[in-house]
Structure 1
Amino acid sequence: MNTKGNQRFVQTRQKIKGVFLELLREKKIGEITVSEICRRADIHRTTFYGHFDDVYDLMQNMVEEMYVQLMDFFIVDDKVWLPEGFLQLFQFIREHREFFRSYLESYSQQRLSFQVIPTKMEEQLVHLLKEMDFSSKEELYYHQTFFCEGLKAVLKLWISRDCAEEPEEMCRIIEKEYSPNRGFFA
């Protein structure tokens, strides 16, 4: 029986996601149909619906999975690890640029998933507030919102340029913006 968690279920789910990523290289998310995914994945529609409600549910599921993966770039051994995390972030986005292009275009009015403080960061909140010189969780949330919206704009621009700059250059740009002696208010 093909139940959640068994190998066949997991393989089918991965196959659906792989086909979806292939289709995102060819067209926008609004042009992708469940029928097309099923045809390319060689599965029945009922199989697809056993995993996802529709194409947008599939996208949201992949966003949530990628969010967990992205947060692992920034938290190592329960410590926030920003410079190295950004390099991994830009490398990951470059590798999955079609997915992120579609996500940022289709969901541009929605909040990014990573605007919620991740569980790992929440567990380290007292240390994080002190390390980043924030007086409260609310101040951290405002900063995080400001940063995420700016990062979203930078990512959209970078992806629209087909990730022309190297990930290392993008890290330099972000780090320069957050250097204590630079920026608008320095």
Structure 2
Amino acid sequence: MNPKLDRRKKYTRMVLKDSLISLLSTKQIAAITVKEICEQADINRSTFYTHYKDQFDLLRQIEEEIIADMNTYLSQHNFSEIEKSLQTTERLLEYIVSKSDICNVLLNENGDTSFERRVMEVARSFLITTWMDCQENDAAVSEYISTFIISGSIHVIKHWLANDMDKTPQQIAQIINSIAINGIDQNS
């Protein structure tokens, strides 16, 4: 394949993704049209349809990339020790900082709620198979505990993103891990 063509395809997809993310910051996906995306990207509609079926397909592709990145990232770490759990949470938050524009939009009220559920499933699978294995709970209890911890963590991250990341990833990781390990009673 011609390298110029490959670069052009990558550029086109990047511009389309950036345009959709920009539009999602102010509108819900159902209210965004392919025409709007193309106008913002300065690309004609036939080019759009060469790459994606519709705006929902484009959003799904963006979400797939983030989920794949998160899976790859989390697979590289071991949650079995508290110190490593804190470091991994910090690194995951640093990843979110590096993709803050996309993560903020995908997790805000204009984003697709399925993305948040998918992020929760990724986190749950890692939490149950690693950290929760260290606990003395049966599988059903572990699932409820992990749901509680993950839901709370995602909402903390959403709040943090909405506040322009007013704390460092290390501070947020400390808050999340402290609550996950000690609960709300900070005197434990």
Give me the TM-score of the superposition, normalised by structure 1.
0.71
Deviation at 1:7, TM superposition (A): 6.0
From 99, 102, 113, the counterpart of 1:99: 102
TM-score (norm 2): 0.70
Partner of 2:50: 50
Residue 27 of structure 2 corresponds to: 28
Taking only the aligned residue pairs, the percentage that are identical comes to: 24
Q: Tell me the distance in 2 between the aligned counterparts of 1:28 and 1:89.
A: 27
For the pair 1:116 / 2:121, whether they are aligned, the reply is yes
User: In the TM superposition, what whole-angstrom CA distance separates every residue of 1:95-131 from its partner, at most 9, and x where no partner exists?
Assistant: 333323322212475552123257x849x94x66533
Amino acid at match of 1:28: K
The partner residue of 2:172 within 170, 173, 179 is 170
Query: Structure 2 regions of 5+ residues with no counterpart?
Result: none
Distance 1:15 1:141 in 2: 40
- Contact 2:24 / 2:111 at 8 angstroms: preserved in 1? no
Q: Could you tell me how far 1:159 is from its partner in structure 2? A: 1.6
1:49 to partner: Cα distance: 2.5
Aligned in 2, Cα 1:11/1:107: closer, same or farther, shift over 3 Å? closer
1-side partners of 2:44 and 2:55: how far apart? 15
SS at match of 2:181: coil
Q: Structure 1 stretches of 5 or more lacking a match?
A: none
Structure 1 CA distance for aligned equivalents of residues 56 and 156 of structure 2: 24
Match of 1:60 in 2: 60
How far apart, in 2, do the equivalents of 1:153 and 1:68 lie? Answer: 21
55 and 184 in structure 1: CA distance in 2 versus 1, 3 angstrom threshold: farther
Q: Counterparts of 2:71 and 2:136 in 1: how far apart (Å)?
A: 21
Q: Is the 8 A contact 1:115 1:148 kept in 2?
A: yes
Residue 184 of structure 2 aligns with which residue?
A: 183
Q: Is the 8 A contact 2:86 2:174 kept in 1?
A: no
Q: Distance in 1 between matches of 2:98 and 2:126?
A: 26
Query: Number of aligned pairs?
Result: 176
Matches within 5 A, 1:131-146: 131-136=134-139, 138-146=140-148
Q: Which has the higher helix share?
A: 2
